[in-house]
Amino acid sequence: MTVFDDLYKDVIDYFGAEPDSLLVRFQRELSAGGRALDIGAGQGRNALFLARQGIAVDCVDPSEVAEEQVWPCVLGDDLPVRFFPQRFETFVPDVDYYSAVLVFGLMQELPRASIAALVERIEGWTRPGGLVLATAFTTADPGFEEVSRTWKEIGKNSFSDGAGFVRTFLEKNELRNMFGGWEALHYLEELGPEHSHGVGAPHRHGRVEGAFRKRPGAV
Ligand SMILES: C[S@@+](CC[C@H](N)C(=O)[O-])C[C@H]1O[C@@H](n2cnc3c(N)ncnc32)[C@H](O)[C@@H]1O
C-alpha cells in the first residue's frame, strides 16, 4: 500500500473529477496523433480526459487502488488507455518514444534525486516536437513555512513527514530551468485556485505550470 492508496480508497476522485486546466488548455496540441505518457496518473482524471477524445495514453502509477479504480472504467468504455502499476523509475516503455508526457502534481511528492531522474527519463522518452505538460508546488505555497519547520529536511526545499509523504517545493523559474533546452510554450507561477480533497478543508497551493516543446535537433 502506498500513501496514496489510503487517500484514494474512500474518494474516487481525490484530486477532482475534472482534468487539470493546463491539459485542457493544451489538449489540441495532443490531438495531432502519437501516444501520451501520464506519469503519476493517479485516479486517471487527465488520462481518461485524453482517452475519451481518442488519444492513446500510457499511465504509470504505483497505487494499486488507483489501478483497481481506473481499469474497470477503461475496460467498460473500451478506451485507448494502458495502465502500468509501477513507479516511473522501473518503467520501461514498449514504444520508441512518446509524443507528449504529462507530469501533473508528481514533482512535489518526490525527493530531489527522483526529480532529476524523472527529467532525465522524460528526455529519453521524447523526440523533437514532443510536448511536456508539468505542474508542481512552489516555495510560495501557503504550507511551505509549516512543512519546512515541522518535517525533516531531506534536500533543498524538500521534506519528509517520516510516514511516507515527501514535499518538495520548487523555486522561482526552477521548472523552466529543468527544461532549459526546450521551448517554453507557457509558464506560470501563481497561487492556484481554492480546492478541497473529499471532505478536507479548502486550501490553495503555490503552483507552477509549464508547457515545453522539445526543440528540433535535440536528442
Ligand atoms: C498528487 S498525485 C497526482 C495524481 C494525478 N496526476 C492528478 O493530477 O490527479 C501524485 C501521484 O503520483 C504517484 N506517484 C508517486 N510516486 C511515483 C513514482 N515514483 N512514479 C510514478 N508515480 C508516482 C502517486 O501514486 C500519486 O497517484
Query: Could you report the per-residue pLDDT of 37-92, keeping only the tens digit for each?
Result: 999 999 999 999 999 999 999 999 999 999 998 888 887 888 999 999 999 999 99
Residue 19 lies in a domain: yes
Q: Assess whether the C-beta atom of 104 lies below 6 angstroms from ligand 1.
A: yes
Residue in this structure with the C-alpha cell 480508497, named with its chain if needed: 9
Rounded to the nearest 5°, which phi and psi values hold at 142? -60, -25
Residue 130 lies in a domain: yes
Residue 152 lies in a domain: yes
CATH number assigned to the domain comprising residue 105: 3.40.50.150
Smallest CA separation from ligand 1 atom 25, residue: 63
C-alpha cell at 175: 521548472
Residue 115 lies in a domain: yes
Read off the pTM. 0.96
Q: Assess whether the C-beta atom of 121 lies below 6 angstroms from ligand 1.
A: no
Tell me the CA–centroid distance for residue 79 and ligand 1, in Å: 21
Tell me the CA–centroid distance for residue 219 and ligand 1, in Å: 27
State the residue range of the domain holding 88.
3-213
Residue 165 lies in a domain: yes
Smallest CA separation from ligand 1 atom 20, residue: 87
d(CA 127, CA 93): 14
Residue 13 lies in a domain: yes
Structurally, the chain folds into a number of domains equal to 1
Q: Which of 36, 210, 185, 203 is nearest to 107 (CA)?
A: 210
Atom of ligand 1 nearest to the CA of 20: 8
3-state secondary structure of 211: strand
Residue 219 lies in a domain: no
